[in-house]
């Protein structure tokens, strides 16, 4: 008789993010795209929750989450209201409740991105500065994939329809101190979970972009 090995929280978490991301991709491309797009907030909240499940929670970690959320939201508010940092853009209605025209989920997304890219960076080097730069690079790389598809999903839209170079410079300007904060604090995040979540976000936007370009 084969002995069954119970799933741990890491394996279950990875399975869930694969299930929901792949369901979203298939649903948007082949099924009721509007319903699956509207479900984006749930997917993001689930990813954030599972990230916390796979992170050692202590006061230090909580403070990093709060600071990252505040800095991310503050930067986005400056962008939406005054065109600072990222350029002229506005958010659609898909991402839910807004504060000063910025969805609260965007602040959560900043936390997710800083944590997973920061943790992935620890895999490549022990050098503090290089880790921070790798984290920034991973964040910008993912944004490069997100920007072309974001207006189609009603996430956000830049004036003129294309994200300017200013947007990516702004990302670097905001992300770098957050990466420094992350690597100074060194929260205990499961590296394999961070890899999976980053890859799935890249896969999600890349496949949708390929589908859009094939129409």
Residue 3 has pLDDT above 60, yes or no: no
Confidence of residue 55 (pLDDT cuts 50, 70, 90): very high
Q: What is the pLDDT of residue 40?
A: 86
Residue 127 has pLDDT above 50, yes or no: yes
Q: What is the pLDDT of residue 210?
A: 82
209: left (phi over 0), alpha (psi -120 to 50) or beta: alpha
Residue 4 has pLDDT above 80, yes or no: no
CA distances from 206 to 119, 125, 137, 191, 200 (A): 22, 27, 17, 22, 10
CA 124, 128, 132, 137 torsion-angle sign = negative
Are the C-beta atoms of residues 117 and 138 closer than 8 Å to each other? yes
- Residue ranges of alpha helices (H) inside 31-127 are 33-38, 40-53, 59-82, 104-122
| Domain definitions of the chain by residue range | 36-206
Q: What is the pLDDT of residue 28?
A: 83
DSSP state of 6: P
Question: How large is the average pLDDT for residues 45-72?
Answer: 96
Q: What is the pLDDT of residue 38?
A: 85
DSSP state of 53: H
Q: What is the pLDDT of residue 36?
A: 80
High-pLDDT (> 90) share of the chain, %: 81
Q: What is the pLDDT of residue 37?
A: 81
């Amino acid at each position: 008789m084969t002995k069954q090995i119970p799933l741990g929280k890491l394996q279950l978490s990875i399975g869930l993010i694969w299930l929901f991301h792949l369901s979203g991709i298939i649903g948007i491309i082949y099924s009721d795209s509007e319903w699956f797009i509207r479900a984006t907030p749930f997917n993001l909240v689930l990813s954030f929750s599972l990230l916390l499940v796979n992170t050692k929670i202590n006061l230090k970690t909580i403070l990093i989450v709060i600071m990252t959320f505040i800095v991310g939201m503050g930067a986005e508010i400056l962008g939406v209201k005054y065109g600072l940092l990222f350029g002229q853009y506005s958010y659609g209605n898909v991402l839910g409740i807004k504060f000063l025209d910025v969805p609260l989920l965007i602040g959560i997304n900043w936390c997710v991105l800083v944590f997973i890219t920061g943790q992935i960076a620890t895999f490549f080097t022990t050098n503090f500065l290089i880790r921070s730069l790798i984290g920034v690079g991973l964040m910008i790389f993912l944004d490069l994939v997100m920007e072309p598809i974001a207006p189609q999903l009603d996430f956000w839209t830049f004036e003129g329809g294309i994200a300017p170079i200013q947007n990516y410079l702004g990302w670097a300007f905001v992300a770098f101190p957050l990466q420094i904060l992350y690597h100074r604090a060194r929260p205990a995040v499961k590296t394999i979970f961070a890899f999976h979540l980053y890859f799935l976000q890249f896969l999600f936007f890349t496949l949708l972009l390929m589908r859009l370009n094939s129409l």
